[in-house]
Structure 1
Amino acid sequence: MANTWWGSHLLSSGADDELWAVSSAPVTRGQLRTSVTDLGERFREQGITEGSSVLLRMKPSFTYLHVLLALWSRGAQVVLVDFRLKPAEYEPLSDLVRPQYLVAATGAGGPVAGFRQESGFSVQRLPNGRPAVDGVRLVQFSSGSTGRPKVIGRPADSVLAEIDRHSAVPGIPGKGERVMLLNSVMHNMGLVSGVLHALAAGATLIVPPTLRPAEVVRMMARTETSAVYGTPVHYDLLSRVDSRPELPALRLAVSGGERVPQETHDRFRTHFGLPISPVYGVTEFGLIAGDLSGASVPPQLGPPVPGAEVKVVDEELFVRMKRSPYLYGGHTDRFADGWLRTYDRVRQDPATGVLTMLGRADSLAVVGGLKVDLAEVETVLLDHPRVTETVVTHGEVIEAFVGTDQELASDELVAWCRERLSPAKNPKRFFVAKRLPRNSMGKLVRDRALMHEHVESELPSQTQGDR
């Protein structure tokens, strides 16, 4: 392994016997360094070198993380593709980026069964691959919640700058603390906020081999976890665990990805004795805002973190970047003159700088000549005691897709909305299902056609016609 690669300092710190991570078994920093070095030599023999482009598609495991670090140590550009994607989702992405190499899981059949200690993989040289885009070391795809993933490339200095932003956040887990990671290591929050920050800070990473809530809580107690990182879905499940051991070391719960429902926030605080602290970022830039003090509650996001320069224009959030993060052209509506347009609508407190999420700029619809914020309609629906999740879309009319684990008639939703919304904002059609589809990052899918396809597959769902 070269001593000069851009992340070498992340691996070199700490004694060999210092605990790096725990899943079904512990891994020391010395074991991590040895594994990365050995894998780097294997990749050298395969011809992977500075400027090679490699698509990485493996099951979540410590081997996956070792492979990623080893590829970076060889100077490769690594394209991360979620193992859970179906061929119809994965193959067009591969065709788009045209990597020179494929590092893929062996024995790939069957579902992903949690986080593994080790996993097998193969290395394949691909025909007609193109080399890395100059300077780019990490390639990811947008969440695709609208059905159109974007190819996002980040140079080494972008990733390192995000790690620095994490270290500057007051209350961030530090050396000697134990950080439980529930987020996928294949995506930005799990990879940078979890894995890379823990490496840089000297914290120990705790990755449950299973996400069954009761077992996760028991592992928190057994490992003396001090901080947990997850998504709203994780916290909703954890807050429903009936019998919980004492967790005296737990001081911090951090959530990102989407807004934490107020009910989940309140129930978790009641059961665990601490709030869910928000962080906010985008794949193109990484961490933008956050508050780990417990002072910010949904829909507040906290203030911009040190190192993130933002501006709010007509309630839209922009963040300063050195270069466009989008590879292979396009998306000129999102980056101009050094500013990334997030399409998130926010309000910023002039005194504290705290950002409050208002919704998406692309969630505005015009109904009868009036502007309707579909996020407002979603907020009203989420206030219903039996609604667990919702997506509101607009085509010819406003439609509401509602997830619930209880009996819920669409007529009840009609009455609920009519009492709380003006006529132009009321959904004309309701579709009720046990759960709504989410993408590989755990975010709700917002593509109208995909939502219709899902609810039709769950028939008999309760469908309410035009009102």
Structure 2
Amino acid sequence: MENAPPKDWTALGGWIENALSAQPADTVWATAQSDITWEHLRRKVTELNELLGVRGIGPGTTVAVQMVPSYSYLWTVLALWLRGAQVILMDPRLTRLEVNRLVNLCEPQYLITSGASGAVRVVFQDECEIQVERRRGGHAAGNANALLQFSSGATGYPKIIGRTGASLLTELDRFAGLEGMPTAGEKVLLGNSLTHSFGLIGGVLHALSAGATLVFTPNAQPRTLLRTLADSGAQVLFGVPFHFELLNRVSEPVPLPSLRLAVSGGEAIRPEVYEQFEQRYGIRIGQAYGMTETGIIATDLAGRHLPPAVGTPAPGMEVRVQGGELQVRADVSPYVYANDVDNRFVDGWLRTHDLAGIDEPTGIVSVHGRADSLVVIGGLKVDLREVELALAEHPHVTEAVVLFSGTIEAFVGTSGGIGVRELQAWCRDRLSHYKIPRRFELAPAVPRTSNGKLIRNRELLVSRMAGSATTRGEVVT
């Protein structure tokens, strides 16, 4: 007998059902290599809803999903929510070992994949295989969360973040209240990851609610991205700084007369990218700042303010700066397990670990960097401590310091004569491609301070390891 789903799960399923039925059947919902109408979307979600029910998935069932970005992925997630399942999203770039680690943490009853893990380059596909695996020993949902996601923590191991159906619907209301968000009939080229909050909620779900058409590019080559944007006549571009850097590289840019809004999220955008894009395309890059734990926090969609400003708080969001760090008001802790809190949620305030300032007269938030080991590369978060721990598991690694200076660099104390290629292969088996260091410096030991702590200053490490280094080199990928 199926468990009764939490009330706000039912509300989320009802919201999806209403959104799917609100648009004309022959209107295009999304376009990539082929166009998908709303009728096609409804039919696919309905078919999957029935198929998942036959497989035993119902209210309160826990389902981990690791699929390549595709129409298949999107209607799988929608069908799962229609069934009242708890959806656990995993990035398609994760290796099998990383997936196993997360599965062991969450213990889902089902795992849905589209093939091999650890894709180096993830591009949008129209359709892909949908493999449903029943897992022995999995547990039904023990909480009211409709969505579980992951975020790196100070220990280098992922934190499990829960979002209730009510939380997702509230965030959709926030997006709807923002001036300039896509409206019915508009086309939105969506470059953001579909497993992360802004791409999934601000992109896919908002478009579903507003009746906007999603556009996906077949690859991330600069000219392909620009041509897709121009040929589709998209009015809105959502992406990460990497997408705008790509567009700035095109030697002979074409006009984009239809484009009225370009928004970057996921990481800080460099002022020079912001300025060059406006010079080349005549439109300012807006910003959407948020985090997995809360969703959208602050926005400047029209790009009125030069980075590092990220805009004013989204409707209903309350923020403050304590000790130079931005904090966000939250009703409950977003972390599924009590030991995940790690002093990040105290007295109703969630620490973002972002160094920030708030301009008192205007309320504009500016973000100036991180207070922990988290870095963002191409819109993807990497906890450098996680990379250090992966290296430290090698039997011939005695210690490791991993830093980021435009690229990930590893300073490693070794024994046994191992080389860069061996360590790269070791990391490849344990870490997603984008987390693997691009430069290694190997020596018998990593220098330490006078009180015995490992040095974490790049210049000091380079100079002090130069004379004792056994192997150094950059990895060509």
Q: TM-score, normalised by structure 1?
A: 0.78
CA contact (8 A) 2:93 2:117 kept: no
1: CA distance between counterparts of 2:234 and 2:442? 39
Counterpart of 1:344 in structure 2 is: 354
**1:241 paired to 2:250:** yes
**1:31 paired to 2:15:** no
After superposition, residues 212-231 of structure 1 pair within 5 angstroms as 212-231=221-240
1: CA distance between counterparts of 2:96 and 2:441? 20
| Identical-residue share of aligned pairs (%) | 41
Q: Which runs of 5+ in 1 are unaligned?
A: 364-373, 379-390, 405-436
2: CA distance between counterparts of 1:5 and 1:11? 10
After superposition, residues 241-280 of structure 1 pair within 5 angstroms as 241-280=250-289
Counterpart of 1:10 in structure 2 is: 19
Amino acid at match of 1:174: T
Instruction: Report the CA distance shift for 1:400/1:33 in structure 2 as closer, same or farther (over 3 A).
Output: closer
Counterpart of 1:68 in structure 2 is: 77
Amino acid at match of 1:240: R
Counterpart of 1:417 in structure 2 is: none
Of 32-41 and 304-313, the range deviating more from structure 2: 304-313
CA contact (8 A) 1:288 1:305 kept: yes
State the aligned residue count: 400
Amino acid at match of 1:455: R
> What SS is found at the alignment partner of 1:24?
coil
> What SS is found at the alignment partner of 1:142?
strand
> What SS is found at the alignment partner of 2:147?
strand
CA contact (8 A) 2:145 2:165 kept: yes
Amino acid at match of 1:259: A
Instruction: Report the CA distance shift for 1:316/1:297 in structure 2 as closer, same or farther (over 3 A).
Output: same
After superposition, residues 361-376 of structure 1 pair within 5 angstroms as 361-362=371-372
Q: Which runs of 5+ in 2 are unaligned?
A: 1-9, 377-382, 389-398, 408-427, 444-457, 466-477
1:455 to 417, 422, 439: 439
CA contact (8 A) 1:53 1:132 kept: yes
1: CA distance between counterparts of 2:156 and 2:188? 33
1:79 to 88, 94, 99: 88
2: CA distance between counterparts of 1:69 and 1:458? 48
CA contact (8 A) 2:120 2:433 kept: no
Counterpart of 2:446 in structure 1 is: none
1: CA distance between counterparts of 2:100 and 2:331? 31
Displacement of 1:11 = 1.8
CA contact (8 A) 1:187 1:441 kept: no
1: CA distance between counterparts of 2:196 and 2:222? 21
Query: Residues 233-276 of structure 1, C-alpha deviation per residue, up to 9 Å, x if partnerless?
Result: 11111110112222100111111111111221122111111111
Instruction: Report the CA distance shift for 1:458/1:245 in structure 2 as closer, same or farther (over 3 A).
Output: farther
Counterpart of 2:299 in structure 1 is: 290
1:152 to 161, 184, 192: 161
1: CA distance between counterparts of 2:173 and 2:186? 18
CA contact (8 A) 1:229 1:255 kept: yes
CA contact (8 A) 2:118 2:433 kept: no
> What SS is found at the alignment partner of 1:456?
strand
Query: Residues 358-411 of structure 1, C-alpha deviation per residue, up to 9 Å, x if partnerless?
Result: 222337xxxxxxxxxx99xx9xxxxxxxxxxxx999x99x9964338xxxxxxx
Displacement of 1:5 = 3.5
Query: Residues 162-214 of structure 1, C-alpha deviation per residue, up to 9 Å, x if partnerless?
Result: 11111111111211111101111121111111111111111111111211110
Instruction: Report the CA distance shift for 1:281/1:108 in structure 2 as closer, same or farther (over 3 A).
Output: closer
Amino acid at match of 2:372: D
1: CA distance between counterparts of 2:195 and 2:442? 29
Amino acid at match of 2:170: A
Q: TM-score, normalised by structure 2?
A: 0.77
